Amino acid sequence: MSTIISTLKESGDENRVAITPDVAAKLVHNQFEVLIEKGAGQNAYFADQAYEDAGAKVVSRDDAISKANLIAVVDQPDSETLSKLHEGQILIGLLKALTDLDGIQQLAKQKVTALSFELLPRTISRAQGMDVLSSQASIAGYKAALVAADKFARYFPMMITAAGTAKPAKVLVLGTGVAGLQAIGTAKRLGAIVSGYDVRPASRGEVESLGAQFLTSSVSAVGEGGYARQLSADEQQKQQAELIGFIKQNDIVITTAQVPGRKPPLLVPQEAIDNAKPGSVFVDLAASDLGGNVAGSKTDQTVVTDSGVQIIGAGNLASEMATSASEMFSKNVQAVINDVSDKDAQIKIDLEDDVMSQLVATDHGEIISDRVRKALNLPDKQPAKAETVPADTDEESAEKGDQ
């Protein structure tokens, strides 16, 4: 019997979908049965008919939940949806494993195997094709430069006209990871004078290769896993003092510094905003319920100061480019499925594997991820022995999932 993979329509303002028609067709070709909740791809401009043409079945939400062996989502579903999941199912997506600890514990209690993309070990080469954080950050960085250009009251490039010459905008990007580099490249292509700032000196080559000036701090914060480490209070204060001078010289500031599961570092204090040029634009990609990189930023809102400085809380820009973002996200999901399935389309998760041992948050009622266990003040756990997920959901399990 074939393994059933489904995806759900996202809630709220989330426009992305976890499986696109193109990937659905590939999964069907690989002998999986694919179920798509009716309207799941609508906000990303993927019609139900496109899924049916790809060989998938368009079904109700209840069927997409109860009949699936593996459910792919973009964001952690709401508690009502989680309550319908049942033992033996696999849930994969951005499950907020390090911040929504109640949700993760609920999944463990229901004996659902949860694969949370935030936990993926990004420095392992085999995991690069699964790296949702990078694929979505790339889109967010690109979009951030476009948002800034749209909101800025002047040209980005130098313009020579019969009425005079317009000076190019000066753009400063704080944080030169995937999102930051994409923002730098896009702003540069728009004709701005661009600088990139990072506390990791090794980033210089990447920034300069894009034609931007590299700025750094006397504070070094080289960390593990592809991230900068969290700064101490003294280091953060020193860094902010240095940044204030850089910020004052620029018209646009795009901030991208995030630490998964923790409050984002405050890179732009109120003093920097007060000293910014009138009409300056700050785009904060780290804006979230945990805070942001810019003082006063509010997620999904634009704050305008008395001097006309705009602070844009842009924590989910990938959703605003839903088609491209979904295509990338879906390929990341497919990469995981390919990694954990055999030639007979049966799913087997090896908890001793160097990638899966970290990606898996919960399995068979246990919290597997040591990072999640640490957040819950639990001792480290040795990886459990891998087990094969049954191909089909039996009626008894389905009934329990609907309760």
Catalogue the active-site residues: 122, 128, 131, 134, 227
Cα separation, 221 vs 123, in Å, equals: 17
Indicate the DSSP class of residue 111.
T
Cα pseudo-dihedral 361, 366, 371, 375, rounded to 10: 110
Tokens standing for residue 35: 């179920």
Q: How far apart are CA 238 and CA 241, in angstroms?
A: 5
pLDDT by residue (tens digit) across 72-113?
Answer: 999 999 999 999 999 999 999 999 999 999 999 999 999 999
Dump pLDDT digits (tens) for 225-273: 545 566 777 877 777 788 888 999 999 999 999 887 788 989 999 999 9
Q: Where in the chain is the domain with CATH 3.40.50.720?
A: 4-130+329-402, 136-320
Please state whether the predicted TM-score (pTM) of the whole model is above 0.85. yes
Of the candidates 41, 39, 37, the one whose C-alpha atom is nearest the C-alpha of residue 21 is: 41
In the CATH hierarchy, which fold is given to the domain comprising 4-130+329-402? Rossmann fold (3.40.50)
CATH code, 136-320? 3.40.50.720
pLDDT tens string 152-190: 999 999 999 888 899 999 999 999 999 999 999 999 999
pLDDT in tens, 12-39: 899 999 999 999 999 999 999 999 999 9
Query: In terms of Cα–Cα distance, which of 220, 224, 216, 278 is closest to 248?
Result: 278
CB 207 within 8 A of CB 300: no
